[in-house]
Amino acid sequence: MKASELSPFSIGIMGGSGALQLLDARDGFVVTTPWGDPSSEITQVTVGACVVPQAAWMIQRHGNPHRIPPHRVNYRANLWALKEAGVRHVIAINAVGGIRPNFLPADLVLVDQLIDYTWGRAHTYSDGPDQPLVHCEFGEPYHGPMRSALIEAGERCGVGMHLEGCYGATQGPRLETEAEIRRMARDGCDVVGMTGMPEAGLARELGLDYACLCVVANPAAGIGGEPISLEELYEVLATAMGKVGQLLSHLPDPEQFA
C-alpha cells in the first residue's frame, strides 16, 4: 500500500529494532515508495503516554530483524514513507561512540551539529526522475520544534542529556581506527555513528523537522584505553534505551514549540 493511505500522524521515529520494544506498538503496514521499499514495515506506536498520548509512525532503520548495514539502508524510501504518512516531526535514535571524554557509555546526547564522512550513499532526492534540483539550507541540521520537545521531555522526567555535540557520520559497518577518531576529534566531532547521514539531509530536503537523539554505547576507538567489546556495547545500549523510553513517554506535542 501507499504510505499516503495511512492515518496521518505528525510524529515519526527512526530507530533500531530495540527502540520498537520501548513503545506501545500496534499495527504494522508494508508500504511502497517511488524510491523502493523502506527498511521495515511502518508501525503505529504511542509516544507522550505520561503527558498527552500521541500516535506516531515508526520505521526500523536496519530492518526487523536487524540485518541492513548502514551503507545499504534505503534512507530515501524511509523518509519519503514517513512524509507521505503525514509526519512533520522526526526523532532519529542513533547509537554512537563517544569522542568527547565526558560523553560516557549510556549518556544521551541531543546533537546540534554534523560532519559527513560517508560516501557512495544515495544522499539526495534531486537526482531522481522529474525531481527538481534543491539546494536546501543546512547550517543548523537539527534545529526545530522536535529538539525543543525532547528537551522539555527530559526536564519533565528528570532524564539528563548533553544538549550540544557534533555528530561525525562514518561509512561503516566496521568500527573506526584510533587514527580516524583522532582526526575526527581534531575536526570537532564529539560522537561518531554510521547512520546520521544522509538521513538528516534528506529530512531537510523534504521539509521535515528532524532531531537526533544519540545513545552513547561505548568510548570511540582509543578513547577508553581498551578495545571495544561488542558484548559490552549491547549491554550498555539495553540500559540506556530505558532512558530513551522515559523521554518518549514524557514527550509533549512538538506543535506547541515555535
Q: Nearest Cα to 201, choosing from 103, 89, 125?
A: 125
Q: Nearest Cα to 169, choosing from 198, 201, 149, 207?
A: 198
Read off the pTM.
0.93
Whether residue 214 has pLDDT greater than 60: yes
Whether residue 56 has pLDDT greater than 60: yes
Tell me what the mean pLDDT of segment 123-151 comes to.
91
Check: CB of residue 87 under 8 Å from CB of residue 79: no
| C-alpha to C-alpha distances, 210 to 51, 76, 224, 227, nearest whole angstrom | 21, 14, 31, 33
Whether residue 18 has pLDDT greater than 70: no
In this prediction, residue 229 carries a pLDDT of: 67
Structural domains present in the chain? 3-251 (3.40.50.1580)
